[in-house]
Structure 1
Amino acid sequence: MMAEKHLNQQHLHEQRLSAEGDINTTAERRRWQDAIDHQPTLNLLEEDARYFLHQSMSTPCLDVLSKADGIYIEDDRGHRYMDFHGNNVHQLGYGHPYVVQKIKDQLDTLPFSPRRFTNQTAVDCAKKLAEICPDDLNRVLFAPGGTSVVGIALKLARVVTGNHKVVSLWDSFHGASLDAIGVGGEACFREGMGPLTPGVERIPPAVSYRGVWPGEDGSDVHYADYLEYVIEKEGGVGAFIAETVRNTDVQVPSQAYWKRVREICDRHNVLLIIDEIPNGMGRSGEWFTFQRYGITPDILCIGKGLGGGIVPMAAMITSDKFNVAGNISLGHYTHEKSPVGCAAALATMEVIEQDNLLDKVKDDERYVRDRLETMKDRYDLIGDVRGIGLLWGIELVICRDNKTRAREEAEKVLYRCLELGMSFKISQGNVLQLSPPLVISRKELSRALDIVEQAISEVIEGKELHHES
């Protein structure tokens, strides 16, 4: 009985880990590592395990990288991978020459600005953000990472509304600090942490494929109605925080859902905090994903790709009417007006404009949708495909009728794709999450989807052969 209980607990633990990404302690991972016959790689992986504090999803590492350029990462054995993960910082790929040059120029003049001073690059970057943001989003605070700006947003919401309670979504990710996991919805980050941010109520996300409350004719508006129910019953709610489209397993709500959420927040004086940290800066074909839904948040959090895939950089953006916390240190970070970070961010925005990447992403979206829908028609292993811009999820299932997650198959597809030269992540244990650099060429995009299809086909064939034997 005790052994069975332990196995059940271990199974639940692995499911929690798989919510954010693929697990790096499985048999498939061991098979991958056992195949590495390059001693310098093995030595460095061993040193990494020796000197870094171990944590889930980081230890042991997959491989050793020596180069990153364009859409590719390269290990120290010379194997190149198209990077369809990139921790969501690689909208412009790696080492974009324009961004690199702007950073070098900034390093030659003003490499650091103490917090009590301002500088031209920081002001120009803030002005540019105000220019690309819709409506009255024009007040900015910078920070070194997305987790930090989420914390700033939560502080500002308390100041503006006088209420500390927050509603968020189950399975959401807003960062790894204590305050961020307090409003996040992924158990793998909260496990064993004890008391977290008080006054947080989590509600189910609007999930179309396997939602807890299937709607009629695919509708998801009732998920927004439940938000209003919680706000009214709980009382004292100051903010609702969510990603417009959930990045990890690519959940794409309807426009009606977000219109209703915006109306509910307005009606109850609840601030809408939109987390665009992984998806902002063009991944949806707009600067920010919420623009595809015709809404505007009260507070916007961006990061990751803002730094051009080089410099850690994030920003919280709000409007003039919420400029009411002059006597409170909302952020107060050492690199608050980093000239180098702002140079990278400014250059990133300029490249997106100069290269017309927003229009390109919309064209790519149509191409990827057609390719993936064709794959779904061809392979029963694919239960669902969903996405927006250059963010896509392929959900693998053992049976389409009961939607049983095909976890082992998904992992086999992942490692086969790595062998074929393509890297991505798995979410929820069975969703292949594809988020390539926005600068990817159509030829490269086609090749990547060919690799995915080849891997899926081979896994299906291998499974059938195994059953026959």
Structure 2
Amino acid sequence: MVNSKIKAAEENLLHVYNRFPIAIERGEGMYVYDTEGKKYLDFAAGIGVTGLGYHNQELNDALKEQIDKICHISNLYYHENCGEAAKELNRICGMDRIFFTNSGSEANEGALKAARRYAYTKQNGRYEYIAMENSFHGRSFGSVSVTGHDSYREPFEPVVPGVHFAKFNDLDSVKALVSDKTCAIILEPLQGEGGINLASQDFMEGIRKICDENDILMICDEVQCGMGRTGNYFAWQGFGVKPDIITMAKAIGNGIPVGAFAMTEEVARYSLRAGDHGATYGGNPLSCTAVKKVIEIFEHDHIVDHVNQVAPYLEQRLEELVKELDCAVRRKGTGLMQGVEFNIPVGEIIQKAIAEGLLVIQAQGNVIRLLPPLIMEEKHVDEMIKRLKHALAK
């Protein structure tokens, strides 16, 4: 018998997602429960969103208190939550100016516009972008235009012109595309959708040097790899290579829809002006309450330190899994953003894992992507490995 919740969704929603046949009702810590009461260990975290896990009471209480005050007010007016959230977010991401959006796609859209506006103000005639193969930056027209997968772009051609794709971790391929029309280079320090591909130190440093020498802006998309997931607040900090613009979303709100793009004071000086960009709901009191409280919890619970403590154990257990299984090729990633590449189709493995009470997701290149809540403990790693092995044995 088809679950009534699933049936209602199938009959009324536009079919743009390949949904799994379970209806989630609630969550607690590292676990979610479906409408039939089945418990699942969640190593997907809503695609990297719920860094603090589910039902964090401190966050919930702050949101409930704000709901009783006000959820939305036009950006024509100030409210203290927005300024405080911006101050704290700038502090941890190492930037100077923040613009709040509703999502990661919107954050990347804004960053691309900011780069074009920077070039327009400087009157240098630049308008082209260099992006990376296997990248993913969203599904709006601008963000999909710099996404390095033909399957995402082709149905919507012609997309934004002037985008060229370099090979990730191949500095020579980037250099070959630089011209006097290049306004920005956009990349994920750790590609998520593209297969859990980590940038090399030389590549990050090389991109920074190219940008400095040619008055090109470096944009780091940290929507998925940011907010503690790699063992730093933001992945660029692990390389010591500071971009000009950072985009973020997902875990900065722990489930409340919020994104942002942040920039240096230098970029802000030549970039977006009043009327150039906007977001009706961006930076509203409720989403900024979430950002402010999430950062507060991260700090008093030492979440980033915790990631660095537990990540080596996750890596160790995954390396053991790869050595044990003929179908596993290699482990990829860093921190609590990990992947295992297989030599067999992983779609069926993921379905079997769900049956075993484990939620994982897929990435490009036959990779199972692991994005657990950052509150994960070693016992959860052991449980995940056990359930994944059972799925692989079926």
- Unaligned 5+ segments in structure 2 are 121-125
Q: How does 1:114-125 map to 2 (within 5 A)?
A: 114-125=74-85
Please name the residue that 2:178 is paired with.
231
| 2:97 pairs with 1:97 | no
TM-aligned CA deviation for residue 328 of structure 1: 4.6
- Which of residues 143, 154, 158 in structure 1 aligns to 2:116? 158
Checking the alignment, whether the CA contact within 8 Å between 2:114 and 2:272 is kept in structure 1 is no
> What is the aligned counterpart of 2:247 among 301, 312, 317?
301
In structure 2, the partner of 1:64 is: 23
Other structure's SS at 1:264 match: helix
Alpha-carbon separation, structure 1, partners of 2:99 and 2:381 = 36
Alignment of 1:381-392 (within 5 A): 381-392=327-338
- For the 8 Å contact 2:192–2:363, the answer to whether it is kept is no
Question: For 1:64-463, what aligned pairs fall within 5 Å after superposition?
Answer: 64-85=23-44, 86-134=46-94, 137-162=95-120, 163-206=126-169, 223-232=170-179, 235-248=180-193, 249-309=195-255, 311-323=256-268, 324-325=270-271, 327-397=273-343, 406-407=344-345, 410-428=346-364, 430-456=366-392, 458-459=393-394
Counterpart position of 1:20:
none
Give the equivalent residue in structure 2 for 1:45: 6
Q: What SS does the aligned partner of 1:230 have?
A: coil
C-alpha distance in 1 between matches for 2:136 and 2:262:
19
Contact residue 299 and residue 317 of structure 1 kept, 8 A: yes
Q: CA deviation at 1:47?
A: 2.0
Residues of 1 paired with 2:272 and 2:184: CA distance?
Answer: 20
Q: Give the partner amino acid of 2:329.
A: G
Residue pair 2:63, 2:289 contacting (<8 A) in 1 also: yes
More displaced stretch, 280-289 vs 370-379:
370-379
Tell me the alpha carbon deviations over residues 164-207 of structure 1, each in whole angstroms, 9 at most, x when there is no partner: 1001012211111111111111223223212100100011223x
Could you tell me how far apart the structure 1 residues matched to 2:366 and 2:273 are?
Answer: 48
1:62 to 1:330, Cα distance in 2 relative to 1, 3 A? farther
- SS of 1:281 mapped into structure 2: coil
Greater CA radius of gyration, 1 or 2?
1
- Which structure: greater helix fraction? 1
Distance in 2 (CA, whole Å) between partners of 1:165 and 1:313 is 28
Alignment check: 8 A CA contact 2:227 2:234 kept: yes
- Asked if the contact 1:224/1:260 (under 8 Å) is kept, the reply is yes
Residue matched to 1:401: none
Partner of residue 123, structure 2: none
With over 3 angstroms needed to count, the CA separation of the structure-2 counterparts of 1:396 and 1:327, relative to structure 1, is closer
Distance, in Å, in 2 between the alignment partners of 1:368 and 1:279 is 17
Which deviates further from its counterpart, 365-374 or 328-337?
328-337
Q: What's the offset of the Cα at 1:51?
A: 0.9
Tell me, in whole angstroms, the C-alpha distance in 1 between the residues paired with 2:233 and 2:221: 13
CA deviations on 1:319-356 (whole Å, 9 max, x unpaired) are: 11122346453431111330100000111111111111
Deviation at 1:60, TM superposition (A): 5.1
Percent identical residues: 27
Asked if the contact 2:254–2:290 (Cα under 8 Å) also holds between the matched residues in 1, the reply is: yes
1:445 Cα deviation (Å)?
Answer: 2.2
Q: C-alpha separation between the residues in 2 aligned to 1:182 and 1:305?
A: 24
Gapped runs of 5+ residues in structure 1? 1-36, 207-222, 398-405, 460-469
Q: Which deviates further from its counterpart, 58-67 or 267-276?
A: 58-67
Q: CA RMSD in A?
A: 1.6
Q: Residue 155 of structure 2 aligns to which amino acid in structure 1?
A: G
Deviation at 1:109, TM superposition (A): 2.0
Q: Residues of 2 paired with 1:327 and 1:414: CA distance?
A: 46
Question: Hey, what's the Cα distance between the residues in 1 that align with 2:228 and 2:387?
Answer: 25
C-alpha contact 2:258 2:282 (8 A) present in aligned 1? no
Q: How many residue pairs were aligned?
A: 386
CA shift in 2, pair 1:321/1:429, >3 Å: closer
Aligned counterparts of 1:113 and 1:330: Cα–Cα separation in 2: 20
2:342–2:366 contact (8 Å) kept in structure 1: yes
Deviations along 1:141-172, whole A, 9 cap, x unmatched? 00111111111111110121232100101221
Q: TM-score, normalised by structure 1?
A: 0.79
